[in-house]
Every structure is written in C-alpha cells, then in structure tokens.
Chains A and B, each alone.
Chain A
C-alpha cells in the first residue's frame, strides 16, 4: 500500500497529481476530436508554437498563460495566411510555423541567464512545481473546455464525418473547426505548466488513439481516453517517484506504451477470430 500512497504524501505531490488529472481530462476530450479530424501534426506543431509566447512571458515577467495565448493566435493566423495566399498543402504551412515558432522561442529564451533551466521547464513542464493558483486556473479552463466540447458535439461529429455534409445540415463546419482550434489552444495552455509544451502532445494524442482502438462511439472514445489519461498521470507520477525519473516525461510515455499494449491485444484478438472463422 505504501508503494501507492508514498508518491502523493506531500502537498506538492498531490498538486502535481491534481494538475496532471485536469490536464489529462482536458486533453482527452479535445484530443479525441484532434485524432478523429486527422490533425495530429497540427497538434504537435501547435504545442511547440506556443513556446515563444511563454519564453517572452519569462523574459518580460508577465503571465505565461497570456504569452501562450498570444503565440497560439499568431500561429493559427499565420498558418491560415499561408494556406490562403499559396497553393502549398496545409502540412507545409504547419511545418513552416512549427519550426519558425520553436526557433523563435529558443532565441528569446537564450537571452535569459538561466537559459537551459527555463527552456527545460517550458518544454518538459514542472509537475512538482504546480501551485494552488495554477490548479484553480486549470480547473476553470477544464470546465470551459469540457463544456464547450459538449456544446459543439454535433457540429464536431458532423465535421469529422464530412465537412460538406456538415454544411448541408446547417452545422457550419468553418465555425466548428474554429471552435476546435480554440479548444486545442485552451487545453494546451491549461496543461503546459503541469506536463510541459512538448509532453502535452503525448496526452493529446496517446489516450484518444488508444481509446480509438477499442471504442465504437465517439462519447465512449472520449470516456475511455479520459480514463486512460487519468491512469497515465497517476501511474506516471507513481513510477517517477519510485524510479526517480522526470515526472512529466514519465506521465507522457505511459499512454504511448499503453497504445502499443492495446494494439497488440486487439491485433491478437482479430487474428484469433479470423482463425476461428477460417476453421468454421
């Protein structure tokens, strides 16, 4: 029992768990739509794209959440600009902004004396440094994100099915897509302090992708992803305590390992079924 309780005996450890769970719930709901819309590359680029905003916030001593929000806005607008002004494919514009924004972030943070420490905290988070105020902001964002995802359930489901059909059903796919971008931004901004900008992507994609292997409906996929997220956060923090590894990274790697375990089991089950059918 001690093995389970010791990692969360102290206040900062409990806050790390609470922060991770809130991040996990937000990213599970938003990540489900991200995976269904095939926007994983955008998600990856996006979590890196907010780095210059956070870096500028560190340099100018303003709230990192504001910096991240400003960088997210610049990133989305710039991608849209490249898409509209050129015939290049969307992944090219995303790739351009991905590298550009990350490089800009590193350049800005390199002006700070504690350069490597600040960069590590931005990229990999500081799960054990989460404050009560951070938790409060995260909780508010989590309520907003999960409520908005529920509000936009039908437009987002229709958009995932087919954008033309969504328009014909009067569900405005453009507005639904814009809402999804805002939700992704809110989930990432609300999670980066716990798990870092780099590793929040693990929670955005890992649990929904694993849930997709075993879910037959979107609500079940969201629920399964949320359960996997919470389990990953708890197991990640527990393992990091006992193995003395980085908390955020251990949290982020658990859902990826789970994905391959579930994939192996589902493939084996399919193969067994096919074998039974071929004998029948």
Chain B
C-alpha cells in the first residue's frame, strides 16, 4: 500500500463556521479500488467531511487532492467532473423529472452537443441525445430501474429512490463515489441487497468508494478499512477488527456494542 499514491487524499483538512470548529486535522487516504467506511456518532462531522470533499464547503485548513491535483476552492460541479460523485443523506432527486431524465442530467457533463445545436436541432443534437439515452438506460438496467424509467422520480418507493440516487451518481462517471448513509431507512433485507449492489458496482466500474453508515453490520461487512470521526476529529482508523477493539471508538459510542 505504502508504495502506491492515494487516489483521493485529505491532508490535515479542517473547517470553521464562525468560531465553531466543525472539523480539524482530518487526514485520510483512499487508494484505487478501495471500499472505505466512515463512521462516528451523530454530529461527528461525517457529512461535513463529504461536503468538503465535494466542494460544497471550502476547507479553511488543509488540502484535498484527487490524483495529485488540488481541489480546494473548486466549485462542486467542477469537482464532479474531475471524478468525485456523491449521494445525499436526505435523498435529493429531481422529483418532477422522470427516472430516465434524472440519470441523463448526471450524464450531461459528458454530452458533447452544444446549446446551439440543440436549439437548431442539428444532427449532433440527435446523436448526442441518443447516446445519452442509451447510456442512461444502461445504468438503469444495472439497478433494475428500467421498468420504471418513465415514472416521475418522486413517485418511486423509498428503496428505489435510494437506488436511483446511486445510479445517478454513477452516471456522472466518477472515479470516487461517496455514499452518505445509503442504507438509511432500509429494512435488513433491503440493506443486504444494497451491500451486494455496492460490491457489484465497485467491481464493474473499478470504483473507489467512501461510505458513511450507521448500520454497523453493513460497514463491518463490506468495508476494508474504516475511519472513525468524533467531535470533528479522526479518532481511529484501520480494519474493521482493529476499529472494533479500539477503546477510543468504544468510548465514543458510549459502550454501544460495536459488532
């Protein structure tokens, strides 16, 4: 591991909101193909870290690097185009758009036909839109959502909305996928299917995945390494076994069974 350079690297990253230090000194490295978990009690700063990595917030300290390129200060859409894509804790689909169109929006950054060609309906517009549609349907098939592709996204049942959000994030063709509590609100059966799905897309798209999760069985079951955040600081990292037996982690969870 040490010889390889990390794909995504956060170096001493921190952010302050006014006088409040939400995160400080977070250093994290993700290597190509890894599936890494990020856990911590409520309010530990997990989602804040996601927001820093995706450019929603600009870090006040430290550096974030993707493939050796500094991302600090880039707007979110540019960071997405460089290869970091995400899902949200509280699902954020484009409700009034169809399932198919939701995925097409994410593929937009890879469209080559210009606004003018669309307005004038030039051949490049039709070519571009056709390619887009084919790609989008391909993604929907993987997630078994092709049967509902003309439904409005807001009309899907909860589990399918979660899946659609992951499909949409993948359609942006990221190198690193950030999943913010993908199993939130799912029953054990759905969680199990989700685990399989995550493992599958990781193989299929050669992805590196960072996952926030409260469901310990999911995190312990599929993650190779785990980072633990508490009060805005990293308190532990390592394999699931190492993390599970780490006294600091046990303390952070106040004696909660970590198994």
A, B co-complexed = no
**Residues of B with Cβ closer than 8 Å to A?**
none
Where the two chains meet, the residues of A that have a C-beta atom closer than 8 Å to any C-beta of B are: none
